[in-house]
Amino acid sequence: MTVSSGESSIDTKNSLSGLAPLEAVLFDVDGTLCDSDPLHYYAFREMLQEINFNGGVPITEEYFVQNIAGKHNDDIAAVLFPDDIERGLKFTVDKEAMFRKLASEQLKAINGLYKVKKWIEDRGLKRAAVTNAPRPNAELMISLLGLSDFFDAIILGDECEHAKPHPEPYLKALEVLKVSKDHTFIFEDSVSGIKAGVAAGIPVVGLTTRNPEHLLMQAKPTFLIQDYEDPKLWTALEELDKKKDAGN
């Protein structure tokens, strides 16, 4: 799956050229537009410790990655408070309020995000944010990143019958944008999100923002990138442009 750093060659497994002519690009939000997982981890760790969760022993980053990152709050509540889901849901509401305070002060875009944003805008492609985050979080992050006017739609797991890892949020995005899965790809950073995209039949470019590569690869992304400056991504996008031009 690796590509040599020689710019000229591309491993076919890292190709998006079969999607030409491209119609749309879909983005997850947390960990994909911005490196928000450390803020979520901090909020969960501090608040769980305050209520003596796990005997007061702080949760580890590994625990966070395996049980919390990328999941919908309903699922997180069931993991953390299996015997008292109502308490779990109340806890996640309070935690999101703490996250939004932290995000307002500390949120940063993933490296190269505005470069790929320009590439998408220059080609007049449709775009949607597809996230398991609650609406107040999603809208705050998108606004802080200056992307409120960039997205044609925001699709929330909360507003679908099933959240990720179910494919419904991504299928809904295709429907709202009126585009084909055969001419669309997704940027995602979590196992849950990659699984949702793959189940929807849409190629997924995975970002190794925080989650371990071996876990992400098990979800079967088309390929992985470190961030939006990764030469692998730009080689694939150039191939896509060439294929489109050849078809005109």
pLDDT value, residue 169? 98
pLDDT in tens, 131-179: 999 999 999 999 999 999 999 999 999 999 999 999 999 999 999 999 9
- Tell me: pLDDT of 42 over 60: yes
pLDDT value, residue 4? 38
pLDDT value, residue 12? 56
For residue 135, give both structure tokens: 């609406």
CA atoms within 13 A on the CB side of 99: 23
pLDDT value, residue 8? 37
Q: What is the mean pLDDT of residues 198-208?
A: 98
Q: What is the mean pLDDT of residues 181-186?
A: 98
Answer whether 0.85 is exceeded by the pTM.
yes
- Tell me: pLDDT of 247 over 90: no
Amino acid at 60: T
Amino acid at 65: V
Active site residue 30: yes
pLDDT value, residue 244? 82
Active site residue 74: no
pLDDT in tens, 59-87: 999 999 999 999 999 999 999 999 999 99
- Distance, CA of 57 to CA of 172 (rounded, Å): 40
- Distance, CA of 83 to CA of 143 (rounded, Å): 37
pLDDT value, residue 248? 67
Instruction: Name the pairing type of β-strands 24-27 and 126-131.
Output: parallel
Pick the closest to residue 185 from 237, 248, 227 (CA basis).
237
pLDDT in tens, 73-125: 999 999 999 999 999 999 999 999 999 999 999 999 999 999 999 999 999 99
Q: What is the mean pLDDT of residues 239-243?
A: 93
The answer to whether 154 and 128 have CB atoms below 8 angstroms apart is yes
DSSP string, the chain: ----S-TT---GGG--GGGPSP-EEEE-SBTTTB--HHHHHHHHHHHHHHTTGGGGPPPPHHHHHHHTTT--HHHHHHHH-TT-HHHHHHHHHHHHHHHHHHHHHH--BPTTHHHHHHHHHHTT-EEEEEESS-HHHHHHHHHHTT-TTT-SEEEEGGGSSS-TTSSHHHHHHHHHHT--GGGEEEEE-SHHHHHHHHHTT--EEEE-SSS-HHHHHHT--SEEESSTT-HHHHHHHHHHHHHHHHH-
The answer to whether 23 and 184 have CB atoms below 8 angstroms apart is yes
Q: Of these residues, 11, 30, 37, 230, which one is catalytic?
A: 30
Pick the closest to residue 1 from 208, 151, 211 (CA basis).
208
- Distance, CA of 2 to CA of 136 (rounded, Å): 38
Of residues 226 and 210, more confidently modeled: 226
- Tell me: pLDDT of 7 over 60: no
pLDDT value, residue 14? 82
Overall fold of domain 24-33+110-247 = Rossmann fold (3.40.50)
119 burial via Cβ count (<10 Å: 0-12, 13-18, 19+):
middle
Q: Of these residues, 28, 37, 75, 189, which one is catalytic?
A: 28
The answer to whether 125 and 22 have CB atoms below 8 angstroms apart is yes
